Each structure stands twice: as C-alpha cells, then as structure tokens.
Amino acid sequence: MPPEQKDRHYLGHRRRLKKKLVDNPGSLEDYEILELLLGYALPRRDTKPLAKAVLKEFGSLRGALAASRSDLENIPGIGKGISTFWILWQEFWARSEQADLPEKVLLNTPEKVVRLARSRINFLRREEFWIILVDNKNRLISFERVSEGIVDQAAVYPRVIIARALALEAGGIILAHNHPGGDPQPSKQDIELTKKVQQIAAELNLRILDHVIVAEDNYFSFQDQAII
C-alpha cells in the first residue's frame, strides 16, 4: 500500500472511532479508548498498535493510567512526548478526584483521608509514600510525596517527614502509602516506621493522626485499628 493510502487508512479509521465514541461511548474496546487518547498526542501516526502494546504491558486501562514515565518509555514507539502527555493525563485524573474537596478541607475521618490518598497513589505500580499535613484543626495544608520505591518497598526517612511538617508549621501529620499488590495489611516495617515517626513527633508536640494504606478497592487505617 502506498504511504499516502496508508495515511488515509488510519485517518479514516480514527474518524470512524470518533463517531463510534460520540454515538455510543460504552461500545468502545479498551484499546480503542487508548488509541484515541494516544491520537491526540500523535495526530499523524497510527496509534492502534501502540495502544495494544501499552495494554499488553500494563494489563488494563487502570494499569496504563498508573504507569510511570520510565516504564512507558521502555515500550518501543513511546518517547518523551507520550510520557509527558501521560503525566498530564494522570494529573487531570488526580485533580478531578480532588475537585470537590474544598480548600482547607477538614480531614477528620479515615474515609476522607483515604479518598484524598487514592486520588494520587491508589493505582501506582510502585510503592510511594506521601504525607498529609494539617493544621491544629485538622484542616489540609499540604499533600506531598516523600519517597518512591520499587514494587514493594519505599525508603522513608522519619526526620524528613518531621522536617517538612515543621517547615510548613503543621499541627498534625497523616502518613499514607500504597500497596501495589492489592493487600492493604501493614507490614512489620510499616508498623515500625509509624512508631518511629510517632516517637520523634511526640518530642516536638506534633500529632500523628493516622497512617493509611491504600490498595485498589481496599484500605487499612491505623486509626481505625487503634494502632495509633
């Protein structure tokens, strides 16, 4: 097939996909959704093979959404343009999840904390450790990443957490991290880390309010289980 006909072929296919999207969004296959998304980053390229490669690598749209920049760029055909687009997509999703959380939201239940944590770390393929800093009335000041690790481990330094809380004049700290394997139960290391942070925080009159572990549709709250 001559190059110009090949170009017309995938452009025609994309137009048909868009019509299918408008007429009945639910009828699209997962790879077709991804194909259209990739088409906005690569408008002059057939993105169907790339969409299928991404789904094969990450298993699902959820897995693809959580993919890191480095993991994406290991797939042939994906460069910095696509991986940058992915960061935008991830940030859009995270902010949409947080959209109706008001500024200085009161984080006074594990459920509210879990919702905030899930917006950033629920579907990640690698473990990340975040802290939620609140004021003396438990209103949100900041939600930020402390560390990221390999699949089942993140290097977290308690003094880094405490230093950040002091820098922002926080009154309390909520610890949050994800378990990519799907089991939210805390490890021995999770419990030891929590106790160590508590010990340092107590010396500085900082409150450790909870440690939440999210794992897909499940979560574990140290506060709920009376560990904190």
Whether residue 12 is found in the same domain as residue 27: yes
Query: What is the pLDDT, as a whole number, of residue 4?
Result: 47
Which phi and psi angles does 71 have, rounded to 5°? Answer: -65, -40
Whether residue 32 is found in the same domain as residue 135: no
Query: What is the pLDDT, as a whole number, of residue 45?
Result: 86
pLDDT of 103 over the 80 cut: no
User: Over 128-150, what HEC string results?
Assistant: EEEEEEECCCCEEEEEEEEEECE
Query: What is the pLDDT, as a whole number, of residue 131?
Result: 95
For residue 228, is it within any domain?
A: no
Whether residue 116 is found in the same domain as residue 192: yes
Average pLDDT over residues 132-142: 93
The answer to whether 47 and 69 have CB atoms below 8 angstroms apart is no
Handedness of CA 180, 185, 188, 190 (dihedral sign): positive
pTM of the model: 0.69
Please report, for the domain that includes residue 112, its CATH number.
Answer: 3.40.140.10
Whether residue 157 is found in the same domain as residue 214: yes
How many Å apart are CA 167 and CA 170, to the nearest integer?
Answer: 8
For residue 226, is it within any domain?
A: no
Q: Give the range of the structural domain holding residue 157, as residue numbers without chain letter.
A: 101-221
Taking all residues of the chain, what is their mean pLDDT, rounded to a whole number?
86
Whether residue 74 is found in the same domain as residue 118: no
pLDDT of 119 over the 90 cut: no
Whether residue 105 is found in the same domain as residue 215: yes
How many Å apart are CA 100 and CA 217, to the nearest integer?
Answer: 20
Which of 96, 118, 149 is the C-terminal boundary of a domain?
96
Please report, for the domain that includes residue 47, its CATH number.
Answer: 1.10.150
As beta bridge partners, residue 78 has none
Average pLDDT over residues 166-173: 95
Q: Which residues contact 146 (CB under 8 A, 6 or more apart)?
A: 129, 130, 131, 156, 157, 160, 161, 164
Number of domains in the chain: 2
Which phi and psi angles does 126 have, rounded to 5°? Answer: -120, 155
Q: Which residues contact 113 (CB under 8 A, 6 or more apart)?
A: 107, 132, 174, 176, 210, 212, 221
Higher-confidence residue of 174 and 104: namely 174
Whether residue 61 is found in the same domain as residue 117: no
Kindly report the length of the chain: 228
For residue 162, is it within any domain?
A: yes
Which phi and psi angles does 77 have, rounded to 5°? Answer: 100, -10
